[in-house]
Structure 1
């Protein structure tokens, strides 16, 4: 197993395996005030609803719960709520730091925090923010270049990605540079619809990702939404790895088999201990 982990580390460093972060990377992590960070669908719903459980049909998946809150309180309320959850002070996890230290050119982070952005604060990079329900065009992303000297992002065109040394793709949004999130059912339906038409991933990355592997960290495939997002973001993949010691359901196993993914049968804390 240690030999396999060393191989993965080499593949990340030589840009053949792309790190892919999901909610589970925050299991056990807390804010500086001691508050647990959302690390799965249930805990994110509780965070969105003031620590209270919602009706069983809404607890099924956080996007459904977010849709319910959006219908009651509005889109702006949801943006402010998710921004509040992910701007509470907390440190990047050891896994964030370890991956950043390996200096991959391209990272996919489906979470809605700013930890990788903080770790790249003194490194030139491009940031791609996923968007939903944009009026006026079909594209479901915005691209920013980071000005290290002034510690600011400014919006740029796709062509900048061709020469970018580092690319951080946050398809579900981020608080920075402007709070914007894909979180509710309506957001996901819109994003996935345009993604299937090729409008959620810049053309440069659609070429770059061909024959790449992915290391799925804290990502689970027991929900349709997560499988569909992962499928669209990793088209033309060569295979990859899924870190999990959970018993896999039929849909999860089918997804893993279809995408030629290798299961690393370890809990994420065990993997992190061996990885760093």
Structure 2
């Protein structure tokens, strides 16, 4: 494996915090942030947890055990899409309290935040703290009968025109969908096959997200990229942004594929426990 670009956290974390406050760094958030403060969690916080939840609802074939996307595809194929959506909604129905880091970000008035999990933590933090914000959420095109890749929602949870969402100070982008406000999910293999067919030409990524990411650095926090689909999505979301990005990870925990992914995209790595890094960013 190539050597990752490691940083001195004492120097780099203040720089990232300054970039966040200035709106020059885009947070790319994963469920690892919530896992720091919620134990045991009332909702699944990893794809493996979600696959295990599906296994409590039905007997999965061997190929789908432990794989959330394959398990979802099996449910969709054998129990139909409505059942899959209902089970996803049930899995995340308890909700989750936003962390102090989510709330801190919500108070910054950032141009763009990416929340890569389904639980709705960042939406909850914005609802508590911010006023001028909107969410653009990926949707599955299964059963909707529309040629659309995403929908816009306001703070109240009502669907809004794109023009209103694009005018908001803060745009929350949930590229895999979310349990809130209405339970839109990209989850099955079929969902991702359809999206990944066009994501190279960026069609599924909202125009406003593409505009707001231009020239920005991304900060990956609480994310894992041990799955090819997660890497493929992240790669496309950060396309045409800055050539400098950051990731808070403990290098010893990385898989070979994660190591290669971060190295290929020249991520500067903050090799320290996530909770400690987030506390330093907020200080």
Q: TM-score, normalised by structure 1?
A: 0.87
Does 1:271 pair with 2:262?
no
Name which of 3, 8, 32 aligns with 2:16: 8
C-alpha distance in structure 2 between counterparts of 1:152 and 1:40, whole Å: 25
Name the structure, 1 or 2, with higher relative contact order (CA <8 Å, separation 6+).
Answer: 2
Give 1:190 deviation, angstroms: 1.3
Does 1:18 pair with 2:22?
no
Does 1:64 pair with 2:70?
yes
Preserved contact between residue 12 and residue 104 of structure 1 (Cα < 8 Å): yes
**Residue 254 (structure 1) aligns with:** 260
Name which of 220, 230, 234 aligns with 1:230: 234
**Residue 195 (structure 2) aligns with:** 191
RMSD of equivalent CA atoms: 2.5
Give 1:103 deviation, angstroms: 2.7
**Residue 207 (structure 2) aligns with:** 203
- Match of 2:214, SS state, is coil
Compared with structure 1, are the counterparts of its residues 86 and 15 closer, same or farther at alpha carbon in structure 2 (3 Å cutoff)?
same
Name which of 239, 246, 250 aligns with 1:245: 250
C-alpha distance in structure 1 between counterparts of 2:89 and 2:136, whole Å: 17
C-alpha distance in structure 2 between counterparts of 1:188 and 1:55, whole Å: 20
Preserved contact between residue 112 and residue 213 of structure 2 (Cα < 8 Å): no
Preserved contact between residue 107 and residue 167 of structure 1 (Cα < 8 Å): yes
Q: TM-score, normalised by structure 2?
A: 0.85
Give 1:163 deviation, angstroms: 2.8
- Match of 1:13, SS state, is helix
Preserved contact between residue 30 and residue 37 of structure 1 (Cα < 8 Å): no
Cα deviations across residues 80-115 of structure 1 (Å, max 9, x unaligned)? Answer: 111122220431122212222333121011111222
- Match of 2:18, SS state, is helix
Alignment of 1:1-276 (within 5 A): 1-30=9-38, 35-50=41-56, 57-121=63-127, 123-133=131-141, 138-146=147-155, 151-157=156-162, 159-238=163-242, 239-247=244-252, 248-276=254-282
Q: How many residues get paired?
A: 269
Q: Which runs of 5+ in 2 are unaligned?
A: 1-8
Give 1:16 deviation, angstroms: 1.0
Preserved contact between residue 95 and residue 120 of structure 2 (Cα < 8 Å): no
Give 1:234 deviation, angstroms: 1.1
Q: Which runs of 5+ in 1 are unaligned?
A: none
C-alpha distance in structure 2 between counterparts of 1:13 and 1:133, whole Å: 36
- Match of 2:158, SS state, is strand
Give 1:22 deviation, angstroms: 1.7
C-alpha distance in structure 2 between counterparts of 1:249 and 1:127, whole Å: 32
C-alpha distance in structure 2 between counterparts of 1:152 and 1:133, whole Å: 20
C-alpha distance in structure 2 between counterparts of 1:93 and 1:51, whole Å: 29
Give 1:120 deviation, angstroms: 2.0
Give 1:61 deviation, angstroms: 2.7
Compared with structure 1, are the counterparts of its residues 38 and 246 closer, same or farther at alpha carbon in structure 2 (3 Å cutoff)?
farther
Compared with structure 1, are the counterparts of its residues 73 and 269 closer, same or farther at alpha carbon in structure 2 (3 Å cutoff)?
same
C-alpha distance in structure 2 between counterparts of 1:67 and 1:52, whole Å: 13
